[in-house]
Structure 1
Amino acid sequence: MDDFKISIDVVGMSDYAEGGPEFIPIIGEDMEQDTDDSPIPTELPILPLRNTILFPGVIIPIAIGREKSHRLIKDVDETKGYFGALTQIDYKVDDPGVKDLYKTGTVARIIKILQMPDNSTTVIIQGKKRFELEEMLGDDPYFVGRIHLLEDTEPQGDSTREYEAVVSSLKDLSLTLIKQNPNVPPEASFAIRNIESPAFLINYISSNTDIPVKEKQRLLEIHDLKDRGMRLVEFLVREVQLLEIKNDIQSKVKRDIDQQQREYLLQQQMKTIQDELGSSPLEQEIKELEKQASEKKWSNEIAELFKKELEKLHRLNPASGEYSIQYNYLQTLLELPWNEYTEDNFDLKRAQRILDRDHYGLEKVKERIMEHLAVLKLKGDLKSPIICLYGPPGVGKTSLGKSVAEALGRKYVRMSLGGLHDEAEIRGHRKTYIGAMPGRIIQGLRKAGSANPVFILDEIDKISNSFHGDPASALLEVLDPEQNNAFHDNFLEVDFDLSKVIFIATANTLNTISQPLLDRMELIDVSGYVLEEKIEIAKRHLIPQQMENHGIPKGRISVSRRTLAYIIEHYTKESGVRELNKTLARLFRKIALKLATDKEVKKTIAVSDLREFLGIEKYSKETWQDNKFTGVVTGLAWTAAGGEILFVESGLSKGKGQLSLTGNLGDVMKESAMLALEYLKSHARYLNIDEKAFDEQNVHVHIPEGAIPKDGPSAGITIVTSLASSFTGKKVKARIAMTGEITLRGKVLPVGGIKEKILAAKRAGIREIILPQENKKDIEEIKPIYIDGLTFHYVDEIKEVLNMALEEK
């Protein structure tokens, strides 16, 4: 091994030579004084040192490995002379050149040469004075160089007190390091305290401080002892701080380990005591799990998995965090309904009675459920359907699930998907994570206790995605009858059969649901209720429920059909009955207050009493207004709350043919207006319109209620009719409304929401409705009660619309 620094006793070395122990002191004034009066020559042999810096006055041992170094030490020892010690810039270089050595070093003399037991040679050397290499004179058999001695300068005058303070600080910091560092023997403090020479103290601490070699070299190159001491203080302060932090960390870790050892000892003692008294609680838990597993109806694959995981639990320490995770996993496996099904009730008449009792209307949904029951009764086994009920709020989509579950005799589970943005909510977390749990599908089945419940996926159109994943994509497997017989949950890590579950999803709109998800579901439109249906729902369900909720005796108060109709038309504006239910709750709260304060309350609530209980009417009934003015046409629109009528108004003024659109219109509706105007321009002769009118007059189209955003193509024929009325001066026929999309060549295209639009037209007193020809099939599916008193005109082209809608001039 080449030259490198080795540790020595900070007090001295002993028992290293033949003839008994010998003591080499490392402290004392003679250490930095030249006891040999012989002058130091200007040309000296140069010994490269590895990873070691020699300071004046300091004694260090060095191991000799290179052949050149052996030759140099031998020659210097024979002549009792001096040599120069220079440190290598890179200690890894085996054969250093002049460029590989620092220029500043220390003149040294040999104190003792030792032959070690492993036949290696160690030389004890002492630094004398600093020098700077001026020129390298040769390198055979070893380096010889011309040097220039450097003198250390000590402060004089006013700087003396500051110098003394620096030396004192160095001594205190060194003693602190020795005290806090368990690797340094306590005798080292004796050496520090007995050094009286400030210069030697600085050099001694610089040599023995655990700082990088580069930093030590910089210290050696500083001429002013006060500056060298100040730089050394910076290093020692940093070392003291690091040592304090290190000791603090070790202390905390030791306390934690001691606590763990104490707990482990107590656990072992407790286990011994429990073994003496009988089986331990751990053994009892495992036996209980084994007993529950023996009663499960699961497959051999799941049984083998459970057995394997139970053996893993047995090997775990109950005090570890992994034990609780493993126990929770096994508990989840046991609580799941593996091959456990409730028996379906195939009494179809009873099922029909339950569905009719709980929900008025909703014929399509009831018919679909009855079909499923009938096939299940005949075949005995059938993959459950994936049904999606979509329609406006408050029409009973969610509550329908309870009725279906009761009709089938199945358990009922509801899962709200509104605002869900984490895929793990569907598929679960992997059980390696702290706090992991299965997804909400598996949790719902565990709660139901059967593998064939009616599972409601509420508000499926409100799912969002984020950086946690896309829950809608995770639902693709759940809602695919061809795949969900092997649903994979990340927590379970085994497949679970969902094919017997009846999934019923609900949504207000289909626009936000991805197409792959829509393809997997059977879509059933749950449209809004007409006035007559709302009255029936209120009489059968809402009023009895609210009377019971408010403590009003049955038969004490009655609400006439006329009063209910007035409440629906003037205090609510919705397709469903949710707002109606809130309004009735407010009505019965007022009645309950009067009854509780012994005030007189009529047995039958009349229309004239409503203002007292409900205040001023919130809405005015949507009615057809009149046809006194040209350019005013009644259109039909669909909203999330149901159908509405809207009025399209157009007017002409002198100008240059500019088109203005107002009324908070969307891009599609604006495009419809532009199409309508272009159609009129291209068919001006057919309509007997002066073509100059388009260039000499500005056109303004306005749709009232500008605070409400409006969009969609279904107002196309309404806008055409309004513009045609303004340009021809012909009024629109009385009590007629229309809806349909237009094309530039004059075709009328079908639109959606026909039932809701018809209900709105009937409420408003419309008698005739113009519809696209292709929407005729939608009318055929509507109950006669909805279209009673209405006349429908089906059109293919805009010309037909204008012929029907405009009066003669």
Structure 2
Amino acid sequence: MNNTLLNQPNKETIPEILSIIPTMDVVVFPNMIVPLLVLDEKIIKGVNQALEESKLVFLLAAKDSTNSSEGAIGTNDLYQVGTIATIMRLIKIPEGGVKILVQGVGKGRARDIVSQGDILQARIDPLEVEMNDIETLLPHIRSIKAIAEKMATSGHSFSPDFHIILSKMQDPEKIADFILSHLSLTVEQGQQLLEVQSQEELLETIYHYLHQEIEVSEIQEKIRNNAREAMNKAQKEYYLREQLKAIKQELGEDDIEEIERMIKKLEALPVNQEIKEEVMRQINRLERTAPDSLEATVTRNYLEWVFALPWGKESEDNLDIKHAQKILDEDHHGLKEIKDRILDFISVRNLKQDGYAPILCFVGPPGTGKTSLGKSIAKSLGRAYARISLGGVKDEAEIRGHRRTYVGAMPGRFIQAMRKAESANPLIVIDELDKLGSDFRGDPSAAMLEVLDPQQNNTFYDNYLGLPFDLSKIMFIATANSLDTIPGPLRDRLEIIELSGYTIEEKVHIAKRHLISKAIRDTGLDTKKIAVSDEVVRDIVNSYTRESGVRQLERLMRKLCSKAARSLVENNEHVTFSSENIENYL
């Protein structure tokens, strides 16, 4: 590598035409010493010519450095005002190109940029900075020194000795040069300073940039402090949790893994932020409580209930009308009005998936198949099935749940049914709705108003859960023997479907299709040959049953089969039932 040290020329005579060196990403000021890398052959020729003559070059900053990487810089890409500089040192690079060390000696404006003999040159007019008297500049110098002192005390100084050196300076030109060598300026900002025409304006602009620098430094320091505090807090929490984990392991109270599992389950729950915050609060309480304490047991049971509920877990309805019709006809004979209503509901769901779910109430005499019909509807829709019997219930807490302050507290029956069904849209049969009672513990029928109201039950509040739970996707089917004991507001929320008693022919048909085969299975006569004629069934219905339903008929059929089983066991004989001998058996 060829290293040549050159002497700095005097500034008395500046040629009218100087070789141009474009500078990228930097603006060189007078009195500033800057190293430059030159790779372009045309520029290198200009440097060599300057070394042979006055050793002066003209430094012009490129306007946009992003375009320079895509191709050669044109004369239109250069600013008009630049710095006249002297070449102090030149180093030739073996791979091609040169490194030069230049020092600015003054400012100039390019009148005309010309290219002569493959050398980029410019005709320049030297520019003189307007010199102000010291009294005018003194306030600006004091302001600059004051802000430099502020930077030093706040720890935002450019260098450890920046303030000390600046405080000893009195010459405005040297002060400006010293600060310019430390400021991080964009090309546009540097060019703006270079084109300033007076010392006073230069010092004002420098003060503005120093003030901007300290504001940026304060914001950066604030961001760093916030990040450091957050990091320290996270590290502190991690350290304390590890210590707590070690202590609990030594005491045999290691429930950290259980807490972590609960937190993961909570993150996976498809619930809103309000519910997550409340459950997280209970998890934190459990973490702070001794595992063997009664409070920990209560909190743990509560959290187990929360995580066991089917939040957002819905089964897909089977909306095949023919499939539903087949199942309903197989399980129950007659009941045309109810079957039509279920098929209507399936038809609506085919057209509107989030449509209104009816709240049906089957009213009729005992034994007419109200409860079993609900199970058949659930089967036809492909929904989970749950049954709640409200006969004799007098405590409102059976519906809304007990508060967790009581020992042995439990959620209400509807939340329990949701857990058993493991689905957010099951079919729930509310049995014996007309037999709800009331006493000093409250009125359960009043609590049922919220459960059976489509406008309210999407945020049903259970006292044990303490969280809103959505019951709006449930299909409710209530059963009752009479409407007289159902309160008016509750009856108003129900779609009443009355079931009349079965006719003789319907009872005979039900016995043949369902009751006889069931009685044979119940008495162990599956593989034995036993027959009950239609005439016998009709005689039993006419002479031995006085009911609207078929429960007594079912009991009589089971009694006949029991007699047949006894005859088979005692005498090894098959009994043939007829209208003449059924009186002996019944």
TM-score of the two chains, using structure 2 as the length reference: 0.57
Please report how far the alpha carbon of residue 276 of structure 1 lies from its aligned counterpart in structure 2 after TM superposition. Answer: 5.5
Long gaps (5+) in structure 2: 1-243
Residue 584 of structure 1 aligns with which residue?
A: 557
> What is the 5 A alignment of 1:51-130?
none
Which has the larger displacement, 488-497 or 315-324?
Answer: 315-324
Q: Secondary structure of 2:282's partner? A: helix
> What is the 5 A alignment of 1:142-161?
none
Q: Secondary structure of 2:581's partner? A: helix
Q: What letter is aligned with 1:606?
A: S
Residue 387 of structure 1 aligns with which residue?
A: 360
Which of 526, 536, 557 aligns to 2:509? It is 536
Say whether 1:551 aligns with 2:554.
no
Residue 626 of structure 1 aligns with which residue?
A: none
Residue 8 of structure 1 aligns with which residue?
A: none
Q: Is the 8 A contact 2:365 2:548 kept in 1?
A: yes
Q: What letter is aligned with 2:504?
A: L
Which of 562, 566, 570 aligns to 2:535? It is 562
Distance 2:253 2:290 in 1: 13
Q: Is the 8 A contact 2:253 2:291 kept in 1?
A: no
Distance 1:448 1:570 in 2: 43
Residue 601 of structure 1 aligns with which residue?
A: 574
Say whether 1:459 aligns with 2:435.
no
Residue 181 of structure 2 aligns with which residue?
A: none
Q: Deviations over 1:268-288 (max 9, x none)?
A: xx98686359x9542122123
Distance 1:395 1:342 in 2: 29
- Seq. identity, %: 49
Q: Is the 8 A contact 1:297 1:340 kept in 2?
A: no
> What is the 5 A alignment of 1:294-313?
294-313=267-286
Say whether 1:275 aligns with 2:243.
no
Distance 2:410 2:484 in 1: 32
Q: Is the 8 A contact 1:385 1:481 kept in 2?
A: no
Say whether 1:411 aligns with 2:411.
no
Distance 1:587 1:462 in 2: 34
Seen in structure 2, the aligned counterparts of structure 1 residues 571 and 338 have a Cα distance that, compared at 3 Å, is: same
Distance 1:554 1:371 in 2: 42
Please report how far the alpha carbon of residue 321 of structure 1 lies from its aligned counterpart in structure 2 after TM superposition. Answer: 1.3
Distance 1:325 1:475 in 2: 27
Q: Is the 8 A contact 1:421 1:464 kept in 2?
A: yes
Residue 612 of structure 1 aligns with which residue?
A: 584
Q: Is the 8 A contact 1:385 1:522 kept in 2?
A: yes
Higher helix share: 2
Q: Deviations over 1:686-745 (max 9, x none)?
A: xxxxxxxxxxxxxxxxxxxxxxxxxxxxxxxxxxxxxxxxxxxxxxxxxxxxxxxxxxxx
Seen in structure 2, the aligned counterparts of structure 1 residues 523 and 500 have a Cα distance that, compared at 3 Å, is: same
> What is the 5 A alignment of 1:741-760?
none
Q: What letter is aligned with 2:267?
A: S
Alpha-carbon RMSD: 1.8
Q: Deviations over 1:62-81 (max 9, x none)?
A: xxxxxxxxxxxxxxxxxxxx
Distance 1:351 1:481 in 2: 25
> What is the 5 A alignment of 1:501-520?
501-520=474-493
Distance 1:374 1:608 in 2: 51
Please report how far the alpha carbon of residue 294 of structure 1 lies from its aligned counterpart in structure 2 after TM superposition. Answer: 3.3
Q: Deviations over 1:204-231 (max 9, x none)?
A: xxxxxxxxxxxxxxxxxxxxxxxxxxxx
Distance 1:430 1:284 in 2: 28
> What is the 5 A alignment of 1:321-470?
321-470=294-443
> What is the 5 A alignment of 1:258-273?
none
Please report how far the alpha carbon of residue 558 of structure 1 lies from its aligned counterpart in structure 2 after TM superposition. Answer: 1.2
Q: Is the 8 A contact 1:274 1:280 kept in 2?
A: yes
Say whether 1:286 aligns with 2:259.
yes
Residue 314 of structure 1 aligns with which residue?
A: 287
Distance 1:543 1:290 in 2: 55
Please report how far the alpha carbon of residue 605 of structure 1 lies from its aligned counterpart in structure 2 after TM superposition. Answer: 1.9
Distance 1:383 1:366 in 2: 18
Q: Secondary structure of 1:558's partner? A: coil
Residue 496 of structure 2 aligns with which residue?
A: 523
Q: What letter is aligned with 1:290?
A: I
Q: Is the 8 A contact 1:421 1:468 kept in 2?
A: yes
Q: Is the 8 A contact 1:416 1:457 kept in 2?
A: yes
Q: Is the 8 A contact 2:245 2:256 kept in 1?
A: no
Distance 1:333 1:345 in 2: 29
Q: Deviations over 1:312-345 (max 9, x none)?
A: 1111122321111111111111011111100101
Distance 1:276 1:473 in 2: 52
Q: What letter is aligned with 1:374?
A: S
Q: Secondary structure of 1:506's partner? A: strand
Residue 547 of structure 2 aligns with which residue?
A: 574
Q: Is the 8 A contact 2:462 2:468 kept in 1?
A: yes
Q: Secondary structure of 1:455's partner? A: strand
Q: Secondary structure of 2:274's partner? A: helix
Q: Is the 8 A contact 1:316 1:322 kept in 2?
A: yes
Distance 2:273 2:530 in 1: 63
Distance 2:394 2:333 in 1: 35
Distance 1:299 1:272 in 2: 34
Q: Deviations over 1:58-102 (max 9, x none)?
A: xxxxxxxxxxxxxxxxxxxxxxxxxxxxxxxxxxxxxxxxxxxxx
Q: Secondary structure of 1:398's partner? A: helix
> What is the 5 A alignment of 1:637-676?
none
Seen in structure 2, the aligned counterparts of structure 1 residues 339 and 564 have a Cα distance that, compared at 3 Å, is: same
Distance 1:389 1:415 in 2: 15
Q: Deviations over 1:509-539 (max 9, x none)?
A: 0011111111000000011100000001000
Please report how far the alpha carbon of residue 362 of structure 1 lies from its aligned counterpart in structure 2 after TM superposition. Answer: 0.9
Q: Is the 8 A contact 1:547 1:554 kept in 2?
A: no
Q: Deviations over 1:428-478 (max 9, x none)?
A: 011122111110010000111011111000000011111110001110111
Distance 2:585 2:525 in 1: 16
Larger RCO, structures 1/2 (Cα 8 Å, 6+ apart): 2
Residue 490 of structure 1 aligns with which residue?
A: 463
Q: Secondary structure of 1:405's partner? A: helix
Distance 1:521 1:274 in 2: 55
Which of 451, 461, 481 aligns to 2:454? It is 481
Q: Is the 8 A contact 2:437 2:444 kept in 1?
A: yes
Residue 7 of structure 2 aligns with which residue?
A: none
Distance 1:274 1:500 in 2: 44
Q: Is the 8 A contact 2:245 2:254 kept in 1?
A: no
Distance 1:366 1:291 in 2: 45
Distance 1:380 1:555 in 2: 49
Distance 1:553 1:534 in 2: 23
> What is the 5 A alignment of 1:717-756?
none
Q: Secondary structure of 1:504's partner? A: strand
Q: Deviations over 1:628-666 (max 9, x none)?
A: xxxxxxxxxxxxxxxxxxxxxxxxxxxxxxxxxxxxxxx
Q: Displaced runs of 4+ in structure 1, greater than 2 A?
A: 270-277, 290-301
TM-score of the two chains, using structure 1 as the length reference: 0.41
Distance 1:281 1:606 in 2: 74
Q: Secondary structure of 2:298's partner? A: helix
Q: Is the 8 A contact 1:345 1:408 kept in 2?
A: yes
Q: Secondary structure of 2:255's partner? A: helix
Seen in structure 2, the aligned counterparts of structure 1 residues 339 and 272 have a Cα distance that, compared at 3 Å, is: closer
Distance 1:275 1:441 in 2: 40
Please report how far the alpha carbon of residue 597 of structure 1 lies from its aligned counterpart in structure 2 after TM superposition. Answer: 2.1
Please report how far the alpha carbon of residue 290 of structure 1 lies from its aligned counterpart in structure 2 after TM superposition. Answer: 2.2
Residue 195 of structure 1 aligns with which residue?
A: none
Please report how far the alpha carbon of residue 588 of structure 1 lies from its aligned counterpart in structure 2 after TM superposition. Answer: 0.7
Q: Secondary structure of 1:399's partner? A: helix
Q: Secondary structure of 1:334's partner? A: helix
Distance 1:484 1:394 in 2: 31
